[in-house]
Amino acid sequence: MAERLERRVGNLPREEWTDAAREVFAFWGEPNAWEEGSAKNMSMVLANHPPLAIAYSTFGKHLLLGSTIAVRPRELIVLRTAWRQKCEYEWHYHVGYALKAGLTMAEIAAIRDGWQSPVWDGKDEDRAVLRAVDELIDRSRIGDECWALLSRHFDKRQLMDLVFTVGNYVMLGWAVASFGIPVEDGVDLIGFDLKTRSGAEPGSSSRPFED
């Protein structure tokens, strides 16, 4: 497990729940969120700054639900970025999303090893995506060779979405670590070792706005 985070920016206290803050709670369509607040610490922390929260959530909604990139490469991006940054919050949720997207537990485990793992032999698109994440984090640029490999699988708009997706989850990892946002109490946390607190097998889960 990652080291315990210091809560520097806490969940917005109820006495500060303005209509603008309630719009943040309700943005992702949670039942009763306007009245009761969000069940997610992320939304409750971002509600401390509603204009920023709505702007960021609108961008995030595009990347989660309107992106030109298919779900599988998106989950590869998020999980590799979360692993590189040791962002337990995003790792926990996106393991479930990745399983629903069809990734196997063996593939999710190999995301930790990166694009050179033999698990990606014969999976050129997956390998190129993981390599792109590493190059952006390490060099702030996708190199020419990796760009050429990506271009065999993605068109111009998809490549643009890919770069912005990596950047989004790097930024989100900064926020989680700097604000000290923990995974919610009572959640059966999936650790970086892919074991849960309860010992149960990790299961698939739906992303926001999915049935």
Q: Does the model's pTM come out above 0.85? A: yes
**All domains of the chain, ordered by start, with CATH?**
14-64 (no CATH), 70-179 (1.20.1290.10)
**Model confidence at 210: pLDDT above 70:** no
% pLDDT > 70, the chain: 96
Encode pLDDT of 95-141 as tens digits: 999 999 999 999 999 999 999 999 999 999 999 999 999 999 999 99
The pLDDT value given to residue 119: 97
Average pLDDT of the residues in 142-149: 98
pLDDT of residue 64: 86
| Residue-by-residue DSSP string for the chain | -PPPPP-SS-PPPGGG--HHHHHHHHTT--TTHHHH--SSHHHHHHTTSHHHHHHHHHHHHIIIII-SS-HHHHHHHHHHHHHHHT-HHHHHHHHHHHHHTT--HHHHHHHTT-TTSGGGTT-HHHHHHHHHHHHHHHHSS--HHHHHHHHTT--HHHHHHHHHHHHHHHHHHHHHHHHT-PPPTT---B-TTS-BSSSPPP---PPTT--
